[in-house]
Amino acid sequence: MSLEREYECPECGHTGFWKTASMELHLGTKTKWSCNECGYGFIEINGISTAKA
């Protein structure tokens, strides 16, 4: 998995996110992402995201 991804930030509209943490859980891989511009962050666990829609 890459350290950077294209995703539109719901807070500022910027499209660059950096991976800030990743670990294996019994549910799958937990990954934390943070916006390059405003610092908005969200978590994904096995493809399920907590990002605002």
Which tens digits make up the pLDDT trace of 12-31? 999 999 999 999 999 899 99
Give dist(CA 37, CA 12) in Å, integer.
8
Instruction: Write down the CATH number for the domain with range 4-48.
Output: 2.20.25
- Give me the chain's average pLDDT, please: 93
Do the bridges between strand 41-45 and strand 4-6 make them parallel or antiparallel, or are there none, so unpaired? unpaired
The domain locations on the chain are 4-48
Strands (E) in the chain, as ranges, are 4-6, 16-25, 28-35, 41-45, 48-49
As a whole number, mean pLDDT of residues 43-52 equals 92
